[in-house]
Amino acid sequence: MNASSTHTQPVITVANIVKRYQMGQNEVLALRGVDLTVNKGEFVAIMGSSGSGKSTLMNVLGCLDIPTSGSYVLDGVPVNGLSRNALADLRNHKLGFVFQGFNLLARTTAIDNVELPLLYDRTSRWTNTRQLAGDALTRVGLGDRQDHEPSELSGGQQQRVAIARALVTHPTLLLADEPSGNLDSRTTLEVMALFQELNDQGITILMVTHEPDVALYTKRIVAMRDGRIIRDEPVAGRRRAADDLLMHDSDTPIPVEVAA
């Protein structure tokens, strides 16, 4: 239940990852040799402008995309050469996804959305899926909105349902792709406060963002450009989203600091 960095085994070990794909006539080199290690309990922000390769890296780390070359070990499991089905099972067992556009199933209640990953589990290790989904919603503060459909929820609430869905399987790693991209400043703070709370509980989080002030809520910033990591350092002057939320509500302007 703490964020210390003494660990036996990294959650992510990536060595010399290259991703090349065809785009019409042109060959695009999206990743040009990325090395990255993320340990348990870390909260990492991946930053970079569009085209920097951060989304491709995210897809590779999320087992949605297969790198052209290089090795990737996720929580002790070598991902290279796994079949489509094995990748699907790996996503189900070890990963939780939070997307910019929330990506909830429309016309489906919050609890049904959250329950879904448990239903796709083939090991039948989950017995009371309904109960677990309800618990996950309570954990993100939406215990009273279980039967609401996405259209009946605000953006911040929808993102919290998505976070509950990502957490319900107790994943090794939470992957968030621009989670605050569609949110206003206050709900962004809410979501960041929730992430920090979850991270304090020991959940490893990897977040892609292009907003420097959002990255300040993490512990480590990895900056990318042209398919390479150009900077990888701990956050100086880390902020607590819960505190900023109080300041925001008392109408105090939030001091903006750009990461050094």
Partner 1 sequence: MKQSTLFKVATQSILKNKMRTLLTMLGIVIGVGAVIVMVAVGSGAQNAIEKQISSLGTNMIVITPGSSTQGGASQGAGSFNRLTIDDAEMLISQSTLLTAVSPVIVTRIQAIGGSGNWRTSVNGVSTDYLTIRDWAVSAGELFMDDDIRTKRKVAVLGSTVADNLFPDGNAVGAQIQLSRSPFTIVGVLQPKGQTASGEDQDDVILVPYTTAQDRLSGRSFLAQILASTASPDDIAAAMQEVSLIMRDSHELTGGAVEDDFTVRDQTALAAAATSTTSVMTGLLAAIASISLFVGGIGIMNIMLVSVTERTREIGIRMAIGARGSDVLTQFLVESIVMSVLGGVIGIGAGIGGAALLGRLTGWATSTPMSAVLMAVGFSAAVGVFFGYYPAHKAASLNPIEALRFE
Interface pick for partner 1 out of 14, 31, 72, 97 (rule CB under 8 A): 97
Interface pick for partner 1 out of 68, 82, 121, 182 (rule CB under 8 A): 121
- Helix intervals (H) in the chain: 54-61, 84-94, 110-119, 129-139, 155-167, 185-200, 212-215, 241-249
For residue 108, state whether it binds partner 1 (rule: CB under 8 A): yes
Ordered DSSP codes for 150-194: GGGS-HHHHHHHHHHHHHTT--SEEEEESTTTTS-HHHHHHHHHH
Tokens of 189: 């703070």
For residue 117, state whether it binds partner 1 (rule: CB under 8 A): yes
Is residue 99 a contact partner of residue 73, using CB atoms and an 8 Å limit? no
Pick left, alpha or beta for residue 70 (phi over 0 → left; psi -120 to 50 → alpha; otherwise beta): left
**Binding range to partner 1, per CB under 8 A, among 81-89, 135-143, 205-213, 248-256:** 81-89
For residue 106, state whether it binds partner 1 (rule: CB under 8 A): yes
For residue 125, state whether it binds partner 1 (rule: CB under 8 A): no
For residue 89, state whether it binds partner 1 (rule: CB under 8 A): yes
Sign (positive or negative) of CA dihedral 97, 99, 102, 105: negative
Q: Which amino acid is at 186?
A: R
**Binding range to partner 1, per CB under 8 A, among 42-50, 88-96, 197-205, 231-239:** 88-96
Interface pick for partner 1 out of 18, 28, 88, 132 (rule CB under 8 A): 88
Min dist. Cβ of residue 19 to partner 1 (A):
11
Min dist. Cβ of residue 141 to partner 1 (A):
21
DSSP character at residue 133: H
For residue 65, state whether it binds partner 1 (rule: CB under 8 A): yes
CA-CA distance, 159 to 110, in Å (whole number)? 11
Min dist. Cβ of residue 34 to partner 1 (A):
17
**Residues engaged in binding partner 1 (CB under 8 A):** 59, 62, 64-65, 84-85, 88-89, 91-93, 97, 99, 103-108, 112, 116-117, 119-122, 165, 169
